Structure 1
Amino acid sequence: MVLRLRIRVCCDKKCVEGLGIANSGFAGKEPEIALPQELVRELIGEEPSVILVERVLADGSRALLPRLSNFLNAYLVTEDRVEGPVRSYAYITKGRFILLNDALLSRLRVVIIDPFEGVWCFRDELGKRERRGA
């Protein structure tokens, strides 16, 4: 099972929401998010400004990925709270889910308690509350 979280991504004053996968093995030194093409089109339009960036994938292979030229703001949305914004680099993928890297999850204050069951909490809730993924 994967931990899915409700994510809002904004560029200027326009925002889109979707499900983000928190435990995908996506690692990096800076907050990064991988967005499905559909969400990018909805947020920015048909021809976003991108650069190609070489990334090392979770399996150790290398790939050139299109990254948006501008930063996006990422938010974690729950029924009782919104955490963010976190300024993030954004990659465009052909998948249908948003992928969240470990640096972004850290800045959103996410603690994964049980990745198989999809149990998590915010850092300030540790030991006080358990949440279920979306």
Structure 2
Amino acid sequence: MLLSIRVLNALPQLSISPYSGAHSAIGGQLDDRLARWMTFISGASKEQWEELAMDMPGLKKAMTTLEFLSQDKEMRALYEMRKKAQLDEQSALDYAETRGEERGRTAVAMNLLRKGMSTAEIAEVTGFSEAEIEELKKQWH
């Protein structure tokens, strides 16, 4: 706790040059990233946020979190509902993709069965177990 207070007391003494959008020739990308963070922390206007967050997902997340925490209770509830809806939609898409891949593998296995390929070869090609291929054979006949 004492260390945190000392660090906070020292911050106003630091000389922070605002982010200008250009990389320094000496420090390169690390100096640029640090300058962006320091500009944001020191109270950059919202108009600057998009430029500051460019190619910096961590900074973008901090900005989103700050916006969220700055909202009133009703706005936070709306944000949380929207976020949940987005997560639900992504989950449904992931499930559909997995289901589609499974159907595709099944279709390939069925086609290979029709061509007369052995159970072991079909299992090797599709990733199904031989027992699963035998189940597909039963469905086919």
Task: Please give the TM-score of this superposition, normalised by the length of structure 2.
Answer: 0.18
Task: Please give the TM-score of this superposition, normalised by the length of structure 1.
Answer: 0.19
Name the structure with the higher strand share.
Answer: 1
Q: Is the radius of gyration larger for structure 1 or structure 2?
A: 2
Name the structure with the higher helix share.
Answer: 2
